[in-house]
Structure 1
Amino acid sequence: MEDSSVKLQISTLPSSPGVYQYYDKDDKLLYVGKAINLKKRVASYFNKEHDNARTRLLVKKIRTIRHIVVDTETDALLLENNLIKKYQPRYNVLLKDDKTYPWICIKNERFSRVFPTRKMIRDGSEYFGPYTSMRTVHILLDLIKGLYPLRTCNYDLSEEKIRTGKYKVCLEYHLGNCLGPCEGHQSEKSYNESIEAIRNILKGNFKESLVDFKKQMTQYASNMEFEEAQRVKEKIVILENYQAKSTIINPKINNVDVFSVVTDESFGYINYLQISYGSIIRSHTMEIKKKLDESDKELLQLAVIELRQRFQSICKEIYVPFSITVEEGVKVYIPKAGDKKHILDLSIRNAKYFRMERFKQAKIVDPDRHEKRIMAQMKKDLRLTEEPRHIECFDNSNIQGTNAVAACVVFKNGKPSKKDYRKFNIKTVVGPDDFASMEEVVYRRYKRLKEEEQPLPQLIIIDGGKGQLSSSLKSLDKLGLRGKIAIIGIAKRLEELFYPDDPIPLYLDKKSETLKIIQQLRNEAHRFGISFHRLKRSKEALNTELESIPGIGEKTVVELLSHFKSSKRIAAAEFDEIAKVVGSSRAKKIVTYFNSTKTE
């Protein structure tokens, strides 16, 4: 189908809310999207040049456009979500419909059992959850069993069977874990009161259980039943401790969903917290791989619909960092201060922590993915036109103005490539002139790479501020490389990055991966430069001291320094000590030399 046919399809689209679907020449679904105005949104794909290569490729493949008109933007959101999950188009972010989350079931039966399950049976039973881990389920069930004795058997406890004595109490009754409803030792009314209290605890409401236990404790104490009162007190302590751990904000904040999003170049991380009576009763973070450079708003909006459906949330309030569209009847808040802002910040921290953990895991499990992500992030953070797969960093060393040297360290794919490190003796500069030294070293380095037709780096980092950066640029100009290699200067305050012809520095987040790589580069350049400087100073000291002794060569000097560590210690050493290292003949020459210098 020709471009004219695609234009014809666009021209016939309505200006209504709806969902559009792109198909390729083989009628395979490529992408599903939503729009407030179908015609405008679809036309925008073909009316502009896209920065994202994947989007450009998508547009080239589109041959057929189909659409579904809906009443509202909310309907479009829900329909888009369902179609993506059903068909999983190649150019859409992937939404996995995971149905294996655990639930806590209160069974629809006389003397209801309470147990964990991963299957929902629609028989009138109540299900609380789903929970994001079985560990949370077991913690809650252990709490409940410690407070309210419940039956664990699966007998049919009908009135008739209990009355006719069909069942006998089991070991659980004798252990005090069950009050024996199977033999009529516990009434249905009493059992149901416990179930109601459990219902409230699973909703995050501990108040009624605490009030009830405190009444029981007072009553037992007034009747002089102190052992029973103590047992109830222990239950109060258990419940209060659990409540203290789980309540993190104002208990008046109830039935609220909180969502936040953190993104990098390739992925989005959306954290979801569900709040009940000031407690977090659910926390879940989902990772979404970007396909078409989706914005934070697009990712969050998609994830909110998905997570609320997945966890069957009926909360009528949600807190988010910026305005989004959700289903009708739900209020959206963008907290700016107070308890609401506190819980949103907590959600953001959870998303960031999850992202950090994924980075650590990727390093171990999938180094290639980690490497690609780092390179893409550096390209974005440093405003580069290509990924900095090959980086070179320069550092000058001229302690107290002597023995001026420079170092060039090389990183490839975010890791040191030590075989490519280079050392430079400053040849054309007299005295401690960092600017001129940097100009000389950068010129020599890239003149040689050009002559030998070696690959040039994508990024040069100069350890210094605007002065050293300007000097380096002069060398690139002479070599005709200005604009062909990205170059930045880093100031003493590491997070300040200087760019050519830009007086305002770029500031990086102190915790960013990009800054960590730059810090590693500078530290390595500094270490390498200092070690070279020390070596040069040591050699110079050798030449002026030990090697000036008649009959003593470089090999002997190395042996002496390896043993004594300094020429000062050699001068102070006894004849026998030196002779053990280099023999009597040379030891005599050395001792004679140092004795003569002492008498001078």
Structure 2
Amino acid sequence: MEVPEPSPAVTEAAEARAQQALVDAAAAARERLLAEVAALPALPGVYRYFDARDNVLYVGKARELKKRVSSYFQKDHGGTRIGLMVARIARLETTVVRTEAEALLLENNLIKALNPKFNILFRDDKSYPYVKITGGGFPRVAYYRGAVDRKHRYFGPYPGAGAVREAIQLIQKVFRLRTCEDTVFANRSRPCLLYQIRRCSGPCVGLITAEDYARDVRDTERFLLGDEQQVVADLQAQMMALADALEYEKAAEVRNRLSALAKVQHQQAVDESSLSSAGREVDVLAVKVAGGRACVNLAMVRGGRHLGDRAFFPAHVEDATALAGGDEDTRSPEQQVLDAFIAQHYLQGTPPPLLVTSHAVDKGLLAALTESTGVKIAAQHQPREQRRIWLEMAQTGADLALARLLAEEGSQRERTRALIDALDLAIDDPDTFRVECFDISHTAGEATQASCVVFQDHKMNNSEYRRFNIDNITPGDDYAAMRQVLTRRYAKLAEQVAAEGAPPATAKVRLPDVVLVDGGKGQVSMAREVFSELGLDLGLIVGVEKGEGRKVGLEELVFADGREKLSLPPDSAALMLVAQIRDEAHRFAITGMRSKRASVRTGGSRLEDIAGVGPKKRAKLLQRFGGVRGVAAASVEDLQGVEGISRDLALEIYRALH
């Protein structure tokens, strides 16, 4: 019996009822949200807005939660950024706290943890580097990055690795402290090259007394703390005493050390008479906002010495500055960016007692910082004399860094648009354009690895890079390796697409707009087979085929959906972007393959597999015996002599390696 198809009128009525049900559900959800807002207390706290997909939109703090949150819903914001965000709010969460300072702490911890769409967000960078002077009889000076402990002394922080290495080179020239590892120091029988070129005093073989070396360590510490004048005076007295004792060669060496120190002092060009003791530990912060982007340039002054600067570029500036305080906020975009940087940068660190800033800083923020860190912090945004010079230098650095960023982003945007146009893709917003590129690397079939690199937001996103160990294939079979990596990468996503439909371009996990394969027809054919089996769009696949003579700039694009090959001019912006992505995939694959190959050949994983041998003990063993083969050749007694290795563990290591 045939079932009659519904009439068009019935179908339209059903669609209308479904549409009305969605509207009613949205209205009911909005009513529940407004009722929740009306019930909020007039207490300080932090609020979070979420959209329908449970993505966090915005995190804010308030002196009075009810008043602040209600301000978002009490009027029509139209097509403004506030209006666009409010229209997406599906639910909210609030946390009541005791004081505004607590609200500030919680707000910035949540911003870092949740990465909201509409907050100014500074990316967490690596920890800052320090100059480290170890404890012990003959301390060494070293570059250090990480958590500090009380066994050693640390000086800094420095804005970058280069500044630390410059400081260490100066310490070697002037004070001649050793830089060698303790294991090397303990086993020297004659001085090393650094002694020969007068960069070390040779404590390893007794060429300097413990008392004289301790004096050099004290002078180094005073220099790093900024007491340069006293250090110079002591060196001058030492030089005169040597000259009076007719030890002219040694006096000349001290004279050369003084010259090196004087050169650094001249380069700093700091009028120390204008600096109080508090003014010798300063962070200088300059802000520039333009073109929808912002730059905060941080310059560090420690011990009265300018150590250099570092530029920070926050995300979500345009959206966040429109939303940060609503109608009650009279701060300029520069002040909002500066306050966000200070809160996120210093709340979990140790700030200096003085911040010199290009714009005024919220006093409540400084009070919260003082309460949180235990350091009484002051801010000065209209400095004089030397601090004014530092601020002008930082402001110039911010201007130049932001101009450079905008120029680079403009160029990258042009490349992205050129590639979209060259591939004839229907993409309205280039900011969402995503490319995933795959490459295979091995050495004659050994240690095969595949790489996947990701291009999105007009840049390479290395946090999304992935490597795949390729197993159970014929060694050297690149086609089988490509089949395996594409299947592993897209099988689950294909199931999701089949069940739910393609997620939007803004979703965190989605199919890329282009799947770039480093290879010609063969690799593209393999990719076509995988995508056909998974039910994915063949139009996503683009192969990069070497041109005539395998010359760079003559590559051709090969398609899996039957389109003709595409040859782009060598100076094409689209081809330059393809080459950049392809080369990055190749670099990422080959570095992973080499690491895996080295591990296989040296048996490095054998130590990793021994219970009780963690990274620190493994490093000590490799350092003591010069590699895995040396560890394997060592006796149980030799292994037991390494710090942290008990006899039972030494026996376990010996059995595992024999």
**CA shift in 2, pair 1:125/1:278, >3 Å:** closer
* Distance in 2 of aligned mates of 1:53 and 1:369: 27
* Distance in 2 of aligned mates of 1:370 and 1:107: 53
* 1:110-149 superposed matches below 5 A: 110-120=137-147, 122=149, 124-149=151-176
Aligned partner (choices 210, 220, 236) of residue 198 of structure 1: 220
Aligned partner (choices 3, 23, 47) of residue 20 of structure 1: 47
* Distance in 2 of aligned mates of 1:245 and 1:171: 31
Is 1:33 aligned to 2:67, yes or no?
Answer: no
Aligned partner (choices 284, 288, 293) of residue 310 of structure 2: 284
Is 1:341 aligned to 2:385, yes or no?
Answer: no
Is 1:270 aligned to 2:292, yes or no?
Answer: no
Letter in 2 for 1:218: M
Unpaired runs of 5+ residues, structure 1, are 372-600
* Distance in 2 of aligned mates of 1:203 and 1:50: 54
Letter in 1 for 2:336: E
Letter in 1 for 2:342: V
Aligned partner (choices 183, 186, 192) of residue 171 of structure 1: 192
Contact 1:94 1:288 in 2 (8 A): yes
Q: Deviations over 1:156-209 (max 9, x none)?
A: 699xx8xxxx75233244554433333444344432332232233334442232
Contact 1:261 1:268 in 2 (8 A): yes
* Distance in 2 of aligned mates of 1:370 and 1:247: 47
Unpaired runs of 5+ residues, structure 2, are 1-27, 322-332, 371-375, 419-658
* 1:55-74 superposed matches below 5 A: 55-74=82-101
* 1:142-541 superposed matches below 5 A: 142-155=169-182, 168-172=189-193, 173=195, 175-249=197-271, 250-252=274-276, 253-289=279-315, 290-294=317-321, 295-308=333-346, 312-320=349-357, 321-324=359-362, 325-326=365-366, 327-328=369-370, 329-335=376-382, 337-367=384-414
**CA shift in 2, pair 1:90/1:257, >3 Å:** same
Q: Deviations over 1:45-95 (max 9, x none)?
A: 222444774332211121222222334333333322221111212222332
Q: Deviations over 1:108-163 (max 9, x none)?
A: 443222122444464633333443333222211111100112223323699xx8xx
Is 1:79 aligned to 2:100, yes or no?
Answer: no
TM-score (norm 2): 0.51
Deviation of 1:331 (Å): 1.5
**CA shift in 2, pair 1:248/1:103, >3 Å:** same
* Distance in 2 of aligned mates of 1:99 and 1:191: 33
Deviation of 1:251 (Å): 4.2
Residue aligned with 2:313, SS: strand
Larger-Rg structure? 1
Q: Deviations over 1:469-524 (max 9, x none)?
A: xxxxxxxxxxxxxxxxxxxxxxxxxxxxxxxxxxxxxxxxxxxxxxxxxxxxxxxx
TM-score (norm 1): 0.55
* Distance in 2 of aligned mates of 1:52 and 1:308: 35
* Distance in 1 of aligned mates of 2:214 and 2:94: 52
Show structure 1 runs of 4+ deviating over 6 A: 368-371
**CA shift in 2, pair 1:211/1:298, >3 Å:** same
* Distance in 2 of aligned mates of 1:282 and 1:20: 38
Q: Deviations over 1:558-582 (max 9, x none)?
A: xxxxxxxxxxxxxxxxxxxxxxxxx
Residue aligned with 1:275, SS: strand
* 1:503-582 superposed matches below 5 A: none
* Distance in 1 of aligned mates of 2:275 and 2:207: 37
* Distance in 2 of aligned mates of 1:332 and 1:57: 36
Between stretches 30-39 and 340-349, larger displacement belongs to 340-349
Contact 1:15 1:38 in 2 (8 A): yes
Deviation of 1:245 (Å): 1.1
Deviation of 1:263 (Å): 0.6
Q: Deviations over 1:357-413 (max 9, x none)?
A: 223323444337999xxxxxxxxxxxxxxxxxxxxxxxxxxxxxxxxxxxxxxxxxx
Letter in 1 for 2:360: F
* Distance in 1 of aligned mates of 2:190 and 2:30: 79
* Distance in 1 of aligned mates of 2:120 and 2:310: 18
* Distance in 2 of aligned mates of 1:245 and 1:353: 22
* Distance in 2 of aligned mates of 1:309 and 1:191: 39
